[in-house]
Structure formats: structure tokens, C-alpha cells
Chain A
């Protein structure tokens, strides 16, 4: 419950702001790093592909060149035996074609350039004539014959969609060119023969003419070419042919895609969770701020209160006090919090009472309307406090202690006490003044005849001393007697005031009178919390004045109640017993009050004798007078249980 002061908010927010930069920075770095990594791996991939492509194409070119060179050599080996007969030529040609050489036609030209033999020999003369017009190329023939070295012709179209070129290999015998073997390559055939399948899988390989026109292509799919390929000169033909390879757009490996995708997804998740976290923190901050304000508000409220607040845990330990409470009892909050029984501010003289109330409250049986206690200030002064206790409930609805609010009512109590004493004094003064007035008037009434008697007698004495005749003195004496009688009448009148005659005696049920007298004191009885034990016999009926008897009973009961003013509340008990025996009704009133000191017992029934500060001293005198007027007896004795027993004995009415 001890909530410390909240840290200053600007400092906090600036630190928070700084903290927020870190995850953002980390996130940007992370995304950048991942992107760079991906890009670098992609670059490396490309480089590798390019290197592979280069080496593949170079290898292909080497391979082709090797084939061409081998074919040149084979062609150069042709001799007369081969050309002698068509059959021999054909078998030679077949050996040549069979070894994936790319050759599709073999022609034997004599030294003059005339076609001697040709295989395949499928060419009909018509077509052959056409062929003869162009291939074998005269120019290449002449060049080959003159140079004595194999010469390649340029590529030319063959039918509509194929191209071919020729190689002219001069054949010499004894230093003389005897003929030229012409091998015709068909570009499509070359590609088909010499490009292995695994290469064709990866690349579209084409052979381009010197103008960049595609002369032949080996490809599976026509459309899948996207990137630029690699080009290498196809040198041996020497006519500007190039081999062009374009890698197929191979699908990127699934793992890499998955990796990239998962990286992106991860980054997004991180971003999202960061955003969520930030929103959560922001919400928390708002709530925290509200809480801090609420706390400051409540603290200000508590500090400004004049009412003391004190919270205790369920086992009675102090867990919170507000400044007003500290001021009230003079102990600081640090000294009070954590304290257990007995509390330092409990008043020593009221320890039991305070402890009992403490236990009641902790048991949940504290009075809802609040209760008054006396506390002790640190400087020893007693203070009266009015306390209200309420259960402390936590956020889960469970009670974890008691909150008590206390109001210092010392001054109010003192003022009440002063007012009560003042009232008592006023009443007693008024009664005394009235009594004095009455006494003074009685004294005057009596003084007059006494003064007259005295004067007559003195006068008579004076006269007698002067030897005046007795007859002259006599009237004065007569008058003195008359005045003495008058004084006696005054006294009788006073008596008759105090003791009404028996004329209006009637049957009086004493039990009823006791109840009526108690009813008159009902509020006082309830206020003082006196318990009354009644044992009243209905047979007690006496002859008497009901009003006077009730007055006498009232006086006795009031004395009994007032005597218990200083008795502990639980011992305030009044027992009233009414019995009948041997012609008398016997009423016993037993209190547990302060009792009667032996020194004053003798004076107890004297008029004007009193032990009460505001008493007149008439109560018991009237009681005795009334009881005796009813031929009864009033007596008292000390009770063995403490307090006093008053006995009233009244003769029962004759049946």
C-alpha cells in the first residue's frame, strides 16, 4: 500500500524515446542485411552461371572444331581406291558419316573441279544440276587446290530452312593435286550431332551468320529465352559464323525462394510484433500516466484531509496512515507502518476496551455506525476519536484489510462536558436559589411572630422592673401568647405542606408503581446501559398515595442508577425485588454502585445532606418522610456484592 512517489515523467519519456530508436535501427539493419545477402548470393549465382556458360560454350566450340579437324583429316585420306567405284566411295562416305561428324554429303572432285563421285547419291540430275551451279563452290575449290590446304566455304541456304557449308580438302599424290574431297556440313545436322543432350538442356544454342542471322538452332522450346547469351566465334569455317548460346530461364531453386520468402515473412512478423509492442507500451504509458495522476489526486486528497486514515491488514498490522492521522497521534508514518499490537497510540487506561474493539473490528463485527475510543498522543495527551471502519478490497474482490477513518472529537467532547457541567451548575444554582427563597420566606414568616413575642416580653419585663401594676402588663403577655400561637400555626402549615393528609389514600399496587417509575427513567437507563433484574410480586398492595409513593420509588431508583455512573458498563446491574411477608410488602433495590461511605451513613436521611455535586439533599429525606407517612420503614445496608441495598417496608392493605 505504500506507494512511492512516481519518477519524474519527462526523464522517463526521453529514455523511452531513446529506447524506441534501438529496435527500429536493428530492424532496418536486419532488413538491409538480409537484402544485401540475397543480392550478393544472386550475383554470385549469376557469375557462376556465366562462367559455366562460357566454359560450356568454349568446350562446345572446341568439340566442334575437333570434329571438323578430324573430318578434314579423314577427308584428306581419300585415295583412288575409294573413288574408283561408286560402291567403294559410298562405303567410305558411310564410315565418314557414321561417327557423328556432322557431315551430310561427300563429293569427290577431280583436279579440274568436276564432280566425280557424290554421296548420297540421291540427288537426281536435275537437282544435281542446280546444286552443281553453286556447290561445291568454285571459289573454295580453286582456293583449296592452289593453297593445298583445306578451305571452308561460306554458309549458304539449303532449301528454305537449313543452311550448309562445305569443306574442300585437296588430295595430293606425289606433290600433285589429284582431286578435292568436299564435305558438306549441314548446320542443323552439326548442332544435332555434336551438341550433347545435357548442353541442349541448359542452353539454346544457335549458329549465327556473319550478319547475325540465325542459321540453325538447337532448342527445345522456342520462347523461353530471356537473357542475353554468350557468343563465340566458330572459327574454322572462317566466314564469320558464331556460336550463340542462351541459357534457358531456369527456375530458381526452391530453397532459395523459400529462404527469401521466409526472411521477408520473418521481417514482417518482427515489424508487426514491434508495432504491436509499441502500441501496447503506448497504451500502458497512457494508463500509467492516468494512474499517476489518479494517485497524485488521491494523495493530495488524503494529505489535505483533516480526518485521520489508517489501514490495517487482516492480522492487525498497520499498512498505511495518512498525515492527518500522524498529526493526531504524534507518531510519524515510518514509525507506525508495520506496527503490530499493541499500538503505541493506545491509551494505557483504556487498553482492554481498545483491544476488545480492535478484535471486534478485525472479526468484522465492528459497529457500522462507528465508535468512540480514547487514543494517546505521543506527548501523553488523551484524545477522543470517532472511528468508522470499512473493509479494504483488492482488485480481485478479496478483502485484505480494514480502513479506518478517525475524527478528533476531543474538543467536542470537552465542550459537551463543559456544557453539561455548566447546565448542572445552573440547575443546582437555580434549585438552591429557589430553596433559599423558600427558606427565606419561611424564616420571615416565623421571624415576625417571634420578634413580636420578644418585644412584648421585653416590654413587659421593662414595665415589671419599674413596678408597674400587673394589670397593665397583662395585655402584653396575652398578645405574646397570641403571637406564639401564630408561630405554631406557621410551622403547622409548613408540615401540612410537606405531609399531605391520609385523606386521599387508596389501594396502591406497588409493582405497577415500580414499573411506572422505571418508565420515567427509561431514556436514562438505556443511555447508561444498565441491566435491570425485576422480581415483582403482584400481591403487594398497600394503602397509600400513589403519587407520593411513586415519587419516593423514583428517588430511590434514580439514586441507584446515578450511583453506578462510574461502574464498569458490564457490571451496571440493578436488581429490584418485591415480596410480601408477615403483613408487610418488602421492596429491595440492589445496585452495584459506589456504595455509601460509613462516615456519611448517619446523615443519609438528613434534609439538605447530599453527596452529589448538583444534589439538593432532599431526595432520601422525602423518601423517608413518605415511607414513614405510610407507616412504613426505610433502611439501607451495604451489599455484599458491592453497592448498596435499600429496603422499603410498607404495611399491606387489609383485604
Chain B
């Protein structure tokens, strides 16, 4: 939705502000959140950018927030800020799919470098997520009958066979086929199969 933003979640306003200042000095756009709960009200699956997350916070902890985001299917890359005693916890988070962690006290520019790496990583992810989103949107435009015909096409069947199986005229199949290609913005069955491949095993139909 919005551009790549670094979300900073830390209970200490000074630390938040300083980090924002630091990132701004390297032209990284950032947004501050005072607690995990605040961020959770905002977070969704379509976010792009990265998340700088303090492990130790009053209320919901950083780790807990991380788990909640995974559950919400928010794939935002997460960089944990850990104190001395929290390293094992951060390592575990890393195994669970966090992007990185950095131990306090940290080298500030190294932190920024990690943020930049995370942002770059997220650009690709966001692009793929965007195309998946558009394919899904295109699929949603297909009628029920068009979807049925599309499945037959993807199965590699000839128009005649499709007409026979669905009990419709061959002419009708050809009309549907041209509609499908138009709506999915593809020129061939091969291209159609490619863009649907982005969805993985999750096509629009229930097959």
C-alpha cells in the first residue's frame, strides 16, 4: 500500500526518537510506535519495509509481537534489538524466521546497514506479493463458467474436448477463451499458466 517504511517499536521515546533521527540521517523513512499493541492495531499483510523491534518492553514483548505478526501472515522482515541477556531468545527468533538481531549497545551505522538490507530484501517480497495480489484480483473478475473453462485449458485440453466435457458448443468455448485471456491480460495458455504459478498451489478455484 504505502512505500517501504521502517517501523520502530520501542517503549523508550528517546531511543525511538534517536533511531528515527539516525535513520533519517541515512535517508531511511521511519515510523515510531510506542508499544507492540499500538503497532498490532496498524499491522496487516500488505505492509512493506521492515520492523526494528525491541525485545524487552513492558506489556507485550517483542518476541510475542513477532509471533502475533506471523500468525497474521505479516511477512515484514524483523530486526530485533536485544539487551545482553536476551541473545538466546533472539537466536530462537532468528530460527523462527526473523531477519536479524543486533545487540545493545550497537554500532549505529551497522544497524542502519542491516535496516537497508532488510528493506532491499523486502522490496522483492513486496513485488511478488503485489503480483500475486493482481493475479488474484484478475481471477476474481472471471465468471464461474470462465473459471471452469480456464481449468480445462490449464489441463492442456483442446477446445473440442472442453466443449464435449462441459456439454457446450465449441464456439462458446472459443468465446470464453478469448474473454479469459483478455481479463487475465495474457496472450497464450503458457503465459496464463505462468502467472497462475505465482499463486503456487493456491488457485482461485476450489480444485
- Among A458, A468, A486, the residue within 8 A (CB) of B22 is A458
A370 to B106, CA, bound (A): 67
When the two chains form their complex, are residues A486 and B25 in contact, meaning their CB atoms are under 8 A apart?
no
Least CB separation from A457: chain B residue? B108
Q: A440-B85, A448-B15, A462-B26 are in contact. Are A456 and B21 (CB under 8 A)?
A: yes
12 interchain pairs, CB-CB under 8 A: A447-B104, A451-B18, A451-B105, A454-B105, A455-B18, A455-B21, A458-B109, A459-B21, A462-B109, A476-B18, A476-B21, A479-B21
Interface residues on A, range: 20 to 34
B29 CB to closest chain A CB (Å) equals 14
Whether a CB of chain B sits under 8 angstroms from the CB of A626 is no
- Among A443, A449, A453, A483, the residue within 8 A (CB) of B83 is A443
5 new A-B contacts, CB < 8 A, other than A448-B15, A483-B18, are A455-B22, A462-B22, A462-B26, A462-B109, A468-B25
A273 CB to closest chain B CB (Å) equals 104
A453 to B22, CA, bound (A): 11
User: Which of B15, B56, B85, B105 has the most A CB atoms < 10 Å from its CB?
Assistant: B15
A510 CB to closest chain B CB (Å) equals 43
When the two chains form their complex, are residues B83 and A455 in contact, meaning their CB atoms are under 8 A apart?
no
Whether a CB of chain B sits under 8 angstroms from the CB of A460 is yes
Task: Tell me the A426-462 residues at the B interface (CB within 8 Å).
Answer: 440, 443-444, 447-460, 462
Chain B residues near A440 (CB-CB < 8 A): 83-85
When the two chains form their complex, are residues A455 and B56 in contact, meaning their CB atoms are under 8 A apart?
no
A209 CB to closest chain B CB (Å) equals 162
When the two chains form their complex, are residues A449 and B14 in contact, meaning their CB atoms are under 8 A apart?
yes
Whether a CB of chain A sits under 8 angstroms from the CB of B12 is yes
Least CB separation from A476: chain B residue? B21
When the two chains form their complex, are residues B14 and A448 in contact, meaning their CB atoms are under 8 A apart?
yes
Whether a CB of chain B sits under 8 angstroms from the CB of A463 is yes
Q: A448-B12, A462-B25, A463-B25 are in contact. Are A456 and B105 (CB under 8 A)?
A: no
Chain A residues near B83 (CB-CB < 8 A): 440, 443-444, 447
Least CB separation from A468: chain B residue? B25
A442 CB to closest chain B CB (Å) equals 12
Q: A440-B84, A447-B104, A447-B105 are in contact. Are A452 and B15 (CB under 8 A)?
A: yes
B15 CB to closest chain A CB (Å) equals 5
Q: A449-B14, A451-B105 are in contact. Are A456 and B84 (CB under 8 A)?
A: no
Query: Which secondary structure dominates where chain A touches chain B?
Result: helix
B residues at A contact (CB < 8 Å): 12, 14-15, 17-19, 21-26, 56, 83-85, 104-106, 108-109
Chain A residues near B26 (CB-CB < 8 A): 462
When the two chains form their complex, are residues B15 and A459 in contact, meaning their CB atoms are under 8 A apart?
no
Chain B residues near A453 (CB-CB < 8 A): 18
When the two chains form their complex, are residues A456 and B18 in contact, meaning their CB atoms are under 8 A apart?
yes
Least CB separation from B21: chain A residue? A459
A16 CB to closest chain B CB (Å) equals 91
- Among B12, B56, B85, the residue within 8 A (CB) of A452 is B12
A463 to B108, CA, bound (A): 13
Q: A458-B109, A486-B14 are in contact. Are A443 and B84 (CB under 8 A)?
A: yes
Chain A residues near B15 (CB-CB < 8 A): 448, 451-452, 455
Chain A residues near B24 (CB-CB < 8 A): 459
When the two chains form their complex, are residues B106 and A451 in contact, meaning their CB atoms are under 8 A apart?
yes
A449 to B12, CA, bound (A): 9
A483 to B22, CA, bound (A): 15
When the two chains form their complex, are residues A455 and B12 in contact, meaning their CB atoms are under 8 A apart?
no
When the two chains form their complex, are residues A456 and B106 in contact, meaning their CB atoms are under 8 A apart?
no
B150 CB to closest chain A CB (Å) equals 53
Chain B residues near A482 (CB-CB < 8 A): 14
When the two chains form their complex, are residues B105 and A479 in contact, meaning their CB atoms are under 8 A apart?
no
User: Which of B24, B26, B85, B108 has the most A CB atoms < 10 Å from its CB?
Assistant: B108
A450 to B18, CA, bound (A): 11
Chain A residues near B85 (CB-CB < 8 A): 440
Chain B residues near A447 (CB-CB < 8 A): 83, 104-105
When the two chains form their complex, are residues A479 and B25 in contact, meaning their CB atoms are under 8 A apart?
no
Q: A444-B56, A451-B106, A455-B108 are in contact. Are A483 and B14 (CB under 8 A)?
A: yes
A440 to B104, CA, bound (A): 13
B142 CB to closest chain A CB (Å) equals 51
When the two chains form their complex, are residues A479 and B84 in contact, meaning their CB atoms are under 8 A apart?
no
Chain A residues near B109 (CB-CB < 8 A): 458, 462
- Among B18, B84, B105, B106, the residue within 8 A (CB) of A459 is B18
Task: Tell me the A113-151 residues at the B interface (CB within 8 Å).
Answer: none
B16 CB to closest chain A CB (Å) equals 9
A566 CB to closest chain B CB (Å) equals 38
B18 CB to closest chain A CB (Å) equals 4
A225 CB to closest chain B CB (Å) equals 146
Chain A residues near B25 (CB-CB < 8 A): 458-460, 462-463, 466, 468
When the two chains form their complex, are residues A452 and B17 in contact, meaning their CB atoms are under 8 A apart?
yes
A266 CB to closest chain B CB (Å) equals 114
Chain B residues near A450 (CB-CB < 8 A): 105
- Among A444, A454, A466, A479, the residue within 8 A (CB) of B108 is A454
